[in-house]
A and B are shown apart, each in its own frame.
Chain A
Amino acid sequence: MAALHQGWAIQTRVIQALIIRELTTRFGRENIGFLWVMAEPLLFAVLVGLLWRFEKGPQEHGVSIIAFVATGYLPLVMFRSTVLRAMGSFAANSSLMYHRQVKILDLILVRFFVEMIGHMMAYLFIGTVLYALDEFPWPHDLGYLLLGWSYYALFTLTLATIVAPLSEMSEVLEKVMPVTTYLMVPFSGAFFMADWLAPNIKAAVLWSPPVHAMEMMRYGVFGDAVYPHFSLTYTPAWCLPVLMVGLMLCRHVRRVMVVE
């Protein structure tokens, strides 16, 4: 028990140190520093939201179109940037393996935390601004919103844990991954509610775990203005076994890793 407690203390210390290191190497100490972590997703969400607003009018199926795009886009870019950043992260940070208390999983966790916190901050920021402009409702159910976010984050972490070791084992992955995350957009649930789709298409997208998470988040925000389809158990039931495979792959890669 004491050993477990000590190990936990070391790992939290290491993760904190790595987060500070990641923020300093990525954003530096100049001007707004680590606030840049939310600037990029924010710009994305606002610009795409405005684009849709001028293309399709102020509302879609009875909800504010800017709010709808923002709630969909931010989790999606979190997923995309986390997975793309996970690629090659072991090789890029192999010098950290000189310090035994830094575990290979820490490298994935740190990048994941930085992306998750950045995108959640952006979500909160954009929600507050849109609320002030009367374009965003007061969340209907914070519980569903947070649970949906957690499920989306779990899915993101799961895929990062698979992609990071595979990218060390195969160079092909590096070439096909950007396209794959792009093709995944229809299966992210970002730009529709499953209920708006034809029955056979709806059934197809509900195989995808992030769609469930997204429907939960949308219900948490818009409440009865939307008609969500989700299962409370599907996303974790899909993610946990895949996460196990990812952890085993990480372990294997660590064993054969060559550090300069």
Chain B
Amino acid sequence: MIRCSGLVKSYPAGHGRKLVLGGVDLTIGRGQKLGVLGRNGAGKTTLIKMIGGVEMPTAGRIERKMTVSWPLGFGGGFQGSLTGYDNARFIARIYGRDYREIQDFLEDFTELGRQLAMPVKTYSSGMRARLAFALSLAIEFDCYLIDEVIMVGDQNFQRKCHEEIFVKRRDRALILASHSVETIRQYCDMALLIDRGSASVKGDIEEAIALYSNL
């Protein structure tokens, strides 16, 4: 279970502060799938970063009673000057996993071939997404944080993600930020709508989507 209570995040902006999220309350149990909706800059990524522990909330608290992946997004989590293999070794080490066990899955899932021996800074965003997904799937988490990124991949990658996350790991929790109403409708069983700093959980996906479409 993950429980967020009274989550506030503001950033310094000029002389004052810009409030991004003004008190979010949220509980996600095992296996629950939450879609996060909001316009550009509404705070979807910020919320996911806080739940992943990348950035700290200005106020409020987050309890994590299950293992949570790092946010899978366009960037972050990799050292650009190191190769894909070296990044994989590093991540295997810090999560206490045997690198040889995850190497096969990595090569198979990413289909990056020799590119894995090249520095990650030479990768396209789609290639980075493949690497990030492969590693987080190989390590196995109870809850996956996915920021938009599923949609960047090509058909083949999207099919693999679907298979690995929504079929094989049906029992895992998921927080998915997306602009694609279709994706959220297809995979999520509740939705969080963020608008002008306030966020509310809707058990009814269609209601959230209707509100989002009117923003």
Q: State whether B94 touches A101 (Cβ < 8 A).
A: yes
Does A20 have its Cβ within 8 Å of any Cβ on chain B? yes
A29 to chain B, nearest CB (A): 9
Q: State whether A13 touches B54 (Cβ < 8 A).
A: no
Does B3 have its Cβ within 8 Å of any Cβ on chain A? no
Q: State whether B93 touches A100 (Cβ < 8 A).
A: no
Does A231 have its Cβ within 8 Å of any Cβ on chain B? no
Q: State whether A20 touches B70 (Cβ < 8 A).
A: no
Residues of B within 8 A of A255 (CB): 56
Q: Which of B57-88 contact A (CB under 8 A)?
A: 68, 70-71, 75-79, 81-82, 86
Q: Is the interface of A mostly helix, strand, loop or mixed?
A: helix
Q: State whether A95 touches B76 (Cβ < 8 A).
A: yes
B92 to chain A, nearest CB (A): 9
Q: State whether B93 touches A257 (Cβ < 8 A).
A: no
Q: Which of B39-59 contact A (CB under 8 A)?
A: 49, 52-56
How many A-B pairs have beta carbons closer than 8 Å: the answer is 60
Q: State whether B49 touches A259 (Cβ < 8 A).
A: yes
Docked Cα-Cα span, A102 to B93, in Å, equals: 12
Q: State whether A21 touches B78 (Cβ < 8 A).
A: no
Chain B CB within 10 Å — which of A14, A18, A95 has the most?
Answer: A95
Q: State whether A21 touches B76 (Cβ < 8 A).
A: no
Does B16 have its Cβ within 8 Å of any Cβ on chain A? no
Q: What residue in chain A is nearest B76 (Cβ atoms)?
A: A98
- Identify B94's interface contact among A17, A24, A254, CB under 8 A: A17
Residues of B within 8 A of A17 (CB): 90, 93-94
Q: State whether B93 touches A97 (Cβ < 8 A).
A: no
With contacts A21-B79, A25-B82 taken as known, whether A16 is within 8 angstroms of B93 at the C-beta atoms is: yes
Does B96 have its Cβ within 8 Å of any Cβ on chain A? yes
Q: State whether B77 touches A258 (Cβ < 8 A).
A: no
Number of contact residues on A: which range applies? 20 to 34
Q: What residue in chain A is nearest B86 (Cβ atoms)?
A: A24
Does B165 have its Cβ within 8 Å of any Cβ on chain A? no
With contacts A25-B82, A99-B70 taken as known, whether A258 is within 8 angstroms of B90 at the C-beta atoms is: no
Residues of A within 8 A of B86 (CB): 21, 24
Docked Cα-Cα span, A256 to B95, in Å, equals: 25
A134 to chain B, nearest CB (A): 45
Docked Cα-Cα span, A10 to B97, in Å, equals: 12
B18 to chain A, nearest CB (A): 12
Does A260 have its Cβ within 8 Å of any Cβ on chain B? yes
Q: What residue in chain B is nearest A259 (Cβ atoms)?
A: B54
Does B91 have its Cβ within 8 Å of any Cβ on chain A? yes
Q: State whether B81 touches A25 (Cβ < 8 A).
A: yes
With contacts A21-B79, A21-B82, A25-B81 taken as known, whether A99 is within 8 angstroms of B55 at the C-beta atoms is: no
Residues of B within 8 A of A25 (CB): 79, 81-82
B residues in contact (CB < 8 Å) with A: 11, 49, 52-56, 68, 70-71, 75-79, 81-82, 86, 89-91, 93-96
Smallest CB-CB A-B distances: 9 pairs: A17-B93, A98-B77, A100-B53, A98-B70, A255-B56, A17-B94, A98-B76, A259-B54, A14-B94
Apart from the given pairs A102-B94, A259-B49, 7 other A-B contacts in the complex at a CB distance below 8 Å: A10-B96, A16-B93, A21-B86, A95-B76, A98-B70, A98-B71, A100-B68
Subset of 8 A-B contacts with CB under 8 Å? A25-B82, A95-B75, A98-B71, A99-B77, A101-B95, A257-B56, A258-B11, A259-B54
